[in-house]
Structure 1
Amino acid sequence: MGIPDIFDTLDAQLPWQRDLYRDLHRHPELSLQEHRTAERIETELTGIGYTVQRIGGTGVVGVLENGPGATVLSRADIDALPVTEDTGLDYSSENDGVMHACGHDVHITCLLGAARLLAGHRDAWSGTHIALFQPAEETAAGARAMVDDGLLSKVPRPDVAFGQHVMTTEAGTIGTTAGPVLSAGDSLKITVYGRGAHGSMPHNSVDPVVLAASIVLRLQTIVSREIEPGKFAVVTIGASNAGTKSNIIPDRAELLLNLRTYDEAIRTHIMESIERIVRGECTTAGSPREPEFEYYDQFPLTDNDAATNARITEAFTGHFGAGRVAHTAPYTASEDFSRIPDAFGIPYTYWTVGSVPADKLRRAEASGTVAQDIPANHSPFFAPAIDPTLETGTRTQAVAALAYLAG
């Protein structure tokens, strides 16, 4: 399938994109508080002819209808993180304690850039393009909020959906894969109960600190002894909280867990095993109350449709050349993007775009200092290279859309 050349105006619009990116980076906003960001997106989309509406609070959706054909949904997330920036950039965050430390400002800029290219070259394609800007990805709340606010009835039903993420791979390169590309993620708060007592009289207590410690150790056996070797699963205990003073045995303890899986059956098994182990340890300890389980910040699996991924990979290879498109291994990070195409019941694919200059990455690889010298997403030092990252991400969004709209 040939992709028409709509990129003759890209060089001319890149200065606008660079300025837009720096503006977004200076003014990051936390999840579901992206008011200024949403207003800027609305202004840009309206100015190029998209029909724009708010969905899900700070979510923005633009629709550009251009005759008969397929309907493509392209998504970018827009929220920032509660991180204090330490990059030293001259366009660093001006919002104290808030930073675009995950590259969502790149995602916004690239999708707006692709929308501008499509709007300016309507003779090159036919169909409908939906540019969806989703809030609150970092808290797993944004996609659900848009669906709950009637997204499915407020926009044309797409035939396919796309998402992308900037990563600390080589700038100018793209990574694609079929099947799982991002893990399902679940956070879990467990509260176990004991009986408080004076620290000098442990015989009067049911000690929840000892109980929690036993649970922490026992949970380590889920992955090591219950999951088939070679299958991916992570069970992390990120916090264990109990007590206020050295000579007081408290009456409860809290554990905070994080789970990552690529397989729904394994995900279910891990949750059931956690609850079984916790209940068993509580019974053994003589806990006076049943434990409590609170699941939150739950991210779905991002599982790329094989046929869609193959079509997009072919389009990327044809446009960029085989040397810039590579198969990527699944990441253990998580996303809520897939809730949107899953709600529509449509296929999707999600790819990665590199952001680290090749020479910098090669030096770090050669010296074995990648972890120290290449700050990853969510780091206060995270700073994607503007060029060629913005151009690459803009092209990927446009090429993917044209793979369905230019037929």
Structure 2
Amino acid sequence: MIDEITRPDLATAIEAGVERAYEEVQTLYRQLHQHPELPFQEHATAAHLGAALEALGYAVTRGVGGTGVVALLHNGEGPTVMLRSDMDALPIEEQTGLDFASRAIGENADGECVPVMHACGHDLHSSCLVGAAAVLAELRASWQGTLMLVCQPAEEVFGGARAMLDDGLYTRFARPDIVLGQHNMPALAGSVGHLSGQAMAAATTLGVTIHGAGGHGSMPAQTVDPVVIAAHVVTRLQTIVSREVPPDQTVVVTVGKLHAGTQGNIIPHSAELEINVRGFDNHLHERVLASIRRIVGAECEAGRSPRAPEFRVLSETIALNNDAEGTERVRRAHADHFGAARLFAMPRLNGSEDFPYFGNAEAGGFGGPDIPCVYWYIGATAEARWHATPGASVAEKMTHLEMPHSPYYAPGQEATLRTGMAALVTGALAYMVRV
């Protein structure tokens, strides 16, 4: 079936469709970029995307999992292929200097006014999805099955995938046979990267409260100092990776926040920590979290803490494991369409996504067997900048380039938009093209 995608007439039709869609997709991208919205606040973004997909003939449902959008196009018997994009932005003040740069201000979960920017390219992802939807709608005579397009909210807080699944994504609409997604990266614009197996890390951020008994700094014997306990916790946590994790495994434990007290002569009543954990094996990840709880509890007991520490899961997601067979199938489709010279081997990323919930039946809470997932990467660095950047490999050059979440990150190159559309189209057709 995949060989059919190499037919010259279909390849030409895909490129012609991308060309016809490009101007509107670029306009949509700039509109979304200039008006970003924070997680679970993507009301205007969802309205724009829903209207665009509805105009293409898709059956659109809004408000799934809060602000999510689901669009279906049925085209006879065949597999259900899900294409996923994300929509939310970040509390970052944009410094790109683009003429369509964001000046938006939003209200975060704490009620604070913050600048908002699409610093991770979710505006690009959603725009490419709409463009792919247009091309695939034009090519209905060439494929069969059901297209399921998902515009997901709140990826940045790892909340949107589960929210949509909990809202009946697979029971109200369809259970896909394959889930496909993509993300922009600072690789050469127009290139596409693939990685089978462990591709992105599981991530958990724990909030921890250590209780003490505060008092005057001149009378420490009459207190229980939570700062001292917290200091021992920070030091002891470093032994998890060095002494409890097998040397061939990659795990990161970071104490990114430690807050206690108000001034130097006051021993506070409590200390607050935020601990971030990342790793590529979900079972090992759970063991590391258990070790953190054990160490914090033991240090609190050793330090005479008057009560047990409190733990809160602030955010979490599981590791992304790209299906081996599906990754190879999509890679071949991309190679056939773009040419092997435009593909690269994507290095494993310690960054994280909530995309894998769509495929993991247990973690996603939808039951039954797991659903294979394939997640690839599209380059977003202009050609001149790429060639001027030191390094021989993609990984080496990336160390010199702005990454997603930088206020200077600007992935919306023309080649990136065009490639993002065509990559989604050819990925879907790898499963749906008529024989």
For the aligned pair, the TM-score class normalised by the smaller chain equals over 0.9
Counterpart amino acid of 1:374?
Answer: L
Aligned partners of 2:122 and 2:161: how far apart in 1?
Answer: 15
Once the two structures are superposed, what CA deviation does each residue of 1:238-296 show, in whole Å capped at 9, x if it has no partner?
01110011110011111110000101221122111111111111111111111111112
Identity percentage over the alignment? 44
Aligned partners of 1:198 and 1:157: how far apart in 2?
Answer: 61
1:371 CA drift (Å) = 7.2
**Alignment equivalent of 1:359, drawn from 384, 393, 404:** 384
* Equivalent in the alignment of 1:35: 43
Counterpart amino acid of 1:349?
Answer: V
Aligned partners of 1:154 and 1:272: how far apart in 2?
Answer: 36
Aligned partners of 1:157 and 1:397: how far apart in 2?
Answer: 19
SS of 1:116 mapped into structure 2: helix
Aligned partners of 1:339 and 1:380: how far apart in 2?
Answer: 28
* Equivalent in the alignment of 2:80: 71
1:69 CA drift (Å) = 1.2
Q: Does 1:376 align with 2:403?
A: yes
Aligned partners of 2:345 and 2:186: how far apart in 1?
Answer: 15
* Equivalent in the alignment of 1:62: 71
Judge which range, 5-14 or 264-273, deviates more.
5-14
1:359 CA drift (Å) = 2.5
Q: Following superposition of structure 1 onto structure 2, how do residues 6-405 of structure 1 map, counting pairs within 5 Å?
A: 6-7=13-14, 8-54=16-62, 55-96=64-105, 97-343=115-361, 345-365=370-390, 374-405=401-432
SS of 1:167 mapped into structure 2: strand
Distance 1:266 1:372, change over 3 A: closer
Counterpart amino acid of 1:229?
Answer: P
Aligned partners of 1:371 and 1:169: how far apart in 2?
Answer: 7
Aligned partners of 1:264 and 1:134: how far apart in 2?
Answer: 23
1:366 CA drift (Å) = 5.5
Once the two structures are superposed, what CA deviation does each residue of 1:147-176 show, in whole Å capped at 9, x if it has no partner?
111111111221101010001111111111
Aligned partners of 1:156 and 1:290: how far apart in 2?
Answer: 45
Judge which range, 233-242 or 288-297, deviates more.
288-297
Identify unmatched segments of 5+ residues in structure 2: 106-114
Aligned partners of 2:396 and 2:98: how far apart in 1?
Answer: 22
Counterpart amino acid of 2:40?
Answer: L
* Equivalent in the alignment of 2:108: none
SS of 1:212 mapped into structure 2: helix
Judge which range, 151-160 or 32-41, deviates more.
151-160
Judge which range, 33-42 or 265-274, deviates more.
265-274
Q: 8 Å contact 1:18–1:386 — kept in the other structure?
A: no
Aligned partners of 2:23 and 2:175: how far apart in 1?
Answer: 34
Q: 8 Å contact 2:191–2:343 — kept in the other structure?
A: yes
Aligned partners of 1:330 and 1:68: how far apart in 2?
Answer: 37
Aligned partners of 2:175 and 2:291: how far apart in 1?
Answer: 39
Counterpart amino acid of 1:395?
Answer: A
Q: Does 1:2 align with 2:4?
A: yes
TM-score using structure 2 length: 0.91
Judge which range, 11-20 or 336-345, deviates more.
336-345
Q: 8 Å contact 1:25–1:100 — kept in the other structure?
A: yes
Aligned partners of 1:95 and 1:162: how far apart in 2?
Answer: 31
Q: 8 Å contact 2:186–2:398 — kept in the other structure?
A: no
Aligned partners of 1:406 and 1:92: how far apart in 2?
Answer: 39
Aligned partners of 2:42 and 2:266: how far apart in 1?
Answer: 44
Once the two structures are superposed, what CA deviation does each residue of 1:97-135 show, in whole Å capped at 9, x if it has no partner?
010000001100111100000111211111111111000
Once the two structures are superposed, what CA deviation does each residue of 1:81-106 show, in whole Å capped at 9, x if it has no partner?
11111111000013130100000011
1:341 CA drift (Å) = 2.6
Q: 8 Å contact 1:184–1:261 — kept in the other structure?
A: yes
Distance 1:221 1:373, change over 3 A: closer
Judge which range, 320-329 or 85-94, deviates more.
320-329
Identify unmatched segments of 5+ residues in structure 1: none
1:27 CA drift (Å) = 0.6
Q: 8 Å contact 1:158–1:346 — kept in the other structure?
A: yes
Counterpart amino acid of 1:2?
Answer: E
Aligned partners of 1:238 and 1:314: how far apart in 2?
Answer: 41
Structure 1 stretches of at least 4 aligned residues deviating more than 3 Å after TM superposition: 366-373
